[in-house]
Structures are given as C-alpha cells and as structure tokens.
Amino acid sequence: MNALLVLAHPCDDSFCHAAADAAHRGLVAAGHDVTVIDLYDEGFTTAMSRAERTAYHSDDPILDDQVAAHAELVRAAEVLVFVYPTWWAGLPAVLKGWLERVMVPGVGFVFDDRGKVRPGLPQVRRIVGVSTYGSPRWYVRVVNDNGRRVLTRALRMSCGWRARPSWLALYAMDTTSDTDRAAFLRHIEERTAAI
C-alpha cells in the first residue's frame, strides 16, 4: 500500500524525528511504499491566504504548487501516518495549517448532488497518529486531546468509516526514562510493521 507519513516538528534531533524514523522503518518492513513530508523541513506555509479562502469553494481551491503536490500524495495514500508533539493540547500550528490548506473540497471531502458533505478519501484504510505529550495521560483526557480528535474523528470522516484509526502516545514525555522512550520507539515500529 501507499503510505504517507507527515512529520511536524521543527528540530531534526527531536524525539518526534526518532518516532517518525521508527514509523518509517515499520512501514517499509511491512512492504509499504512510503513517502515522508517533513512540514518544517519543507518550509510549509501555515496560514491560508485570502486568495485561498476565496477560492475554497471554487472548482480549483488549491492555488499553491506545494499544496497541490501534497494533495496528490494524499489522494494516492492508503495509509496516513502523522507524527507530532502535542502543544497547548492540540496539533502544532504547521500541521493544523496543513490540514486546512490541503484537505479542501475535492481532496478531503466532496459534495453530493444535494450539497451534503461526503468522504473525499475513500481509498484510505488506516490513519495512525503518533504523538508525545508533556502532560500525564489523566491531564490529556481532562483537556480533551484535541489533536487526537481531529485526526481520528474529523479526518476519519473524510476517509469513511472503513478507515481504522490507531493512536500511539507517549505521555509525560519530560519525565520518561531513556528506557521508556526506547520502548516506545520499538512499539511504534512494531505497530506500523503490522499494518
């Protein structure tokens, strides 16, 4: 299957980069064709422009070449994997902006004859989220884990209910041991190798 791995962390030496490498190894071991988008490395522009918002409901809502290239990768993907740190109880701005600019009408969703929203990515079979949290699990649950909800619920609606979500989380990242972090990287690799 075609797998698209989207990484959202600004530092090359971050644990999120190590987590993305582990996911990549697992996906390759499973025989998937993997494409990686490193949003910070590519200098992805987060904010939707006025022109893009104006074009949003037109026949051609994508005005940027980079966004168009990413949309084509999304359309070809059967597995979507997102690796990011949870900041302020949600997605990093670059990933939120990526979703807003790439998952436009005609990509993330379509309208049927009656104007109702329908899934635009029915080929996607799996959505995998990998995130680190500075807070413990109980605190993340209290504040509602917005990033997880966006990817496993809202994005899943764009793919249809046949798309199975998986969530791999390392809570209380700042107080975990080297052993805990190494175990989590092995867990990521094993879980993605099983897709």
Separation of alpha carbons 23 and 128, rounded Å: 10
CATH 3.40.50.360 fits 2-193, yes or no: yes
Closest listed residue to residue 101, CA positions, set 145, 153, 28, 42: 42
> CB-side exposure of 184: number of CA atoms within 13 Å?
22
List the chain domain ranges. Answer: 2-193
Helix, strand, coil % in the chain, rounded to nearest 5 = 40, 20, 35
Tens-digit pLDDT string for the chain (195 aa) = 999 999 999 999 999 999 999 999 999 999 999 999 999 999 999 999 999 999 998 999 999 999 999 999 999 999 999 999 999 999 999 999 999 999 999 999 998 889 888 999 999 999 999 999 999 899 998 888 999 999 999 999 999 888 999 999 999 999 999 999 999 999 999 999 999
